[in-house]
A and B are shown apart, each in its own frame.
Chain A
Amino acid sequence: MAQNRWVADDSHRVQTPILEAKNLAVSYEIRDGQVNAVRDVSFKIHRGETLGLVGESGCGKSTVAFSIVRFLGKNGRITGGSIRFQGQELQDLSEREVRSLRGDQMAMVYQDPFQSLNPCMRIGDQLCEVLQEHRGLSDREASVRAIQMLDAVYMPDSAAVMRRFPHQLSGGQQQRVVIAMALLNNPALLIMDEPTTALDVTVEAVVLDLVDELRRRLDTGVLYITHDLGVISRVADRIGVMYAGEMVEVASAVDTFIRPMHPYTEGLMRCVPKLGLSKESSSLYPIRGRVPAPTALPPGCVFEPRCDYARRRCREKHPELRSVEREHLVRCHRAEEIRETEWRPSDETILDLQERLRSRSEDGSKVLEVSDLRTYYDQESKGILSLFGLGEKRQVKAVDGVSFEVGAGTTLGVVGESGCGKSTLARTIIGLESSRDGKIDFLGFDATLPLSRRDKRLIKDLQMVFQNPDSTLNPSFPVGYQIARPLRRFGKVDRARIGDEVVRLLNRVKLDGSYYDRLPRQLSGGEKQRVGIARAFATNPRLVLCDEPVSSLDVSVQAAVLNLLMEIQQEHNSPLLLIAHDLSVVRFFSDAIMVMYLGKACEIGPAEAVYAPPYHPYTEALLSAVPTADPRVEQKRIRLSGSVPSALNPPTGCRFHTRCGRKVGTICETEEPPEIGFGDQHRIYCHLPLEELEAMDAVITA
Chain B
Amino acid sequence: MLVQDYMTKHPLMGRLTMSISEVQHYMADNDLRHLPVVGDGKRLLGLVTRQSLLVEPVRLRSLDVWEISRYLTTESIDVVMIPADDVITIKGDATIEDAARTMVRNRVGCLPVVEDGIVVGIITETDLLAQLAEIMACSADIPAVRATVQMPNRTGNLAKMVQAIAAQDWGILALGGAVNRDDPAVWDAVVKIDNVTKDAVREVLGEVEGHRVTDLREA
Where the two chains meet, the residues of A that have a C-beta atom closer than 8 Å to any C-beta of B are: 5-9, 12-16, 18, 47, 86-88, 94, 97, 100, 103-105, 134-137, 141, 185-186, 188, 218-221
Contact = CB atoms under 8 A, between A and B. Distances in A.
20 contacts: A6-B137, A9-B133, A9-B139, A12-B126, A13-B8, A14-B8, A14-B32, A47-B9, A86-B13, A87-B12, A97-B17, A100-B40, A135-B43, A135-B118, A136-B41, A137-B116, A141-B116, A186-B9, A186-B42, A186-B120
Task: Tell me the dominant secondary structure on chain B's binding face.
Answer: mixed
Interface in B1-53: 8-13, 15, 17, 26, 29-32, 40-43
A409 to B, nearest CB: 58
Contacts of A13: 8, 127
Interface residues of B, number: 32
A16 B10 contact: no
A687 B133 CA distance: 56
Contact of B10 (A103, A134, A220): A220
A47 to B, nearest CB: 6
Contact of B12 (A16, A94, A137): A16
A6 B40 contact: no
A12 B116 CA distance: 28
Nearest to B12: A86
Contacts of B31: 14-15
Interface of B: 8-13, 15, 17, 26, 29-32, 40-43, 116, 118, 120, 126-127, 129-130, 133-134, 137-142
A6 B140 contact: yes
B10 A105 contact: yes
Given A86-B10, A104-B42, A219-B10, 15 more contacts: A5-B142, A8-B139, A9-B133, A12-B130, A14-B11, A18-B10, A47-B9, A86-B12, A87-B26, A103-B41, A105-B10, A185-B41, A186-B42, A186-B120, A188-B9
A197 B9 CA distance: 30
A9 B10 contact: no
B118 to A, nearest CB: 6
Nearest to A18: B10
Contacts of B120: 186
Contacts of B139: 6-9
A18 B10 CA distance: 9
A219 B127 contact: no
B10 A188 contact: yes
Contacts of A97: 15, 17
A175 to B, nearest CB: 23
A16 B41 CA distance: 22
A134 B40 contact: yes
Among B10, B26, B43: residue with most chain A CB under 10 A: B10
Contacts of B9: 47, 186, 188, 218-219
Contacts of B126: 12
Contacts of A104: 40-42
A145 to B, nearest CB: 9
A134 B30 contact: no
B136 to A, nearest CB: 12
A6 B142 CA distance: 9
B121 to A, nearest CB: 9
B20 to A, nearest CB: 16
A137 B118 CA distance: 11
